[in-house]
Amino acid sequence: MRDEMNASSHAWLRRSGGVVMAIAASLSGCGSEETPVRGLGSEGFLAVPGANLRYATRGGGPPVIFVHGGPGIGATYFLASPPVPGFPPLGYRWVVYDQRGSGRSTGAEHPDSLNFDRFVRDLEEVRAATGRDRVFLMGHSFGGLVALRYAVAYPSRVAGLILLDPDPASRDLWMRHAGIIEGRTTDEDRAVMASASGAPGWETDPRALEIYSVARMQSYFGNRKAGRALMLGLEHDVYGNYPATATAVRESLGDWDFFGSLDMVAAPTLILTGDRSIFPKEAHERLRDALPSARLVVLPGVGHFPFIEDPGGFARTVNEFLSVATRARQGP
**pLDDT tens per residue across span 72-92:** 999 999 988 887 888 888 899
What is the pLDDT, as a whole number, of residue 159? 97
Give the pLDDT confidence score for residue 17 in this predicted structure.
Answer: 38
Which residues are 135's β-sheet partners? 158
Flag the least confident range among 102-111, 181-190, 230-239.
Answer: 230-239
> Which residues, in sequence order, are CB contacts of 215 under 8 Å at separation 6+?
189, 192, 193, 196
Burial call 81-120: b when 16+ CB within 10 Å, e when fewer? bebbeebbbeebbbbbbbbbbbbbbbbbeeeebbbbebbb
pLDDT of the residue at 331:
55
- pLDDT confidence band for 27 (50 / 70 / 90): low
pLDDT for position 24:
52
Q: Hey, what amino acid is at 306? A: P
Q: Answer yes or no: is pLDDT of 12 > 50.
A: no
**Where is pLDDT greater, at 2 or 221?**
221
Domains of the chain: 7-175+238-330 (3.40.50.1820)
- pLDDT at 68 exceeding the cut of 80: yes
Q: Is the pLDDT of residue 285 over 50?
A: yes
Residue 9 has pLDDT above 70, yes or no: no
pLDDT at residue 240 above 90?
A: no
pLDDT score of 204 more than 90: no
Q: Is the pLDDT of residue 21 over 80?
A: no
Tell me what pLDDT residue 44 has. 93
Contacts with 212 (C-beta within 8 Å, 6 or more apart), sequence order: 192, 193, 196, 197, 202
CA separation for the pair 40, 60 (Å, rounded): 12
Give the pLDDT band (50/70/90) at residue 170: very high
Give the residue-averaged pLDDT of 212-233: 94
Percent of the chain surpassing pLDDT 70: 87
Percent of the chain having pLDDT more than 90?
70
pTM, full prediction = 0.89
pLDDT 10s digits, 322-332: 999 998 876 54
Average pLDDT of the segment spanning 134-160 = 97
CB 5 within 8 A of CB 80: yes
* Residue pair 101/127 in contact by the 8 Å Cβ criterion: no
Any idea how long the chain is? Answer: 332
Instruction: State the average pLDDT over residues 158-168.
Output: 98
- Omega prior to 111 cis, within 30 of 0: no
Burial of 26 by CB count in 10 Å (0-12 exposed, 13-18 middle, 19+ buried)? buried
Average of pLDDT values for 119-124? 97
**pLDDT tens-digit map of 39-56:** 788 899 999 999 999 999
Q: How far apart are CA 126 and CA 259, in angstroms?
A: 25
The pLDDT of residue 13 = 30
pLDDT higher than 90, residue 271: yes
CA distance 86 to 57: 19
In this prediction, residue 226 carries a pLDDT of: 93
Q: What is the pLDDT of residue 91?
A: 92
Q: State the chain's mean pLDDT as an integer.
A: 87
pLDDT at 3: 34
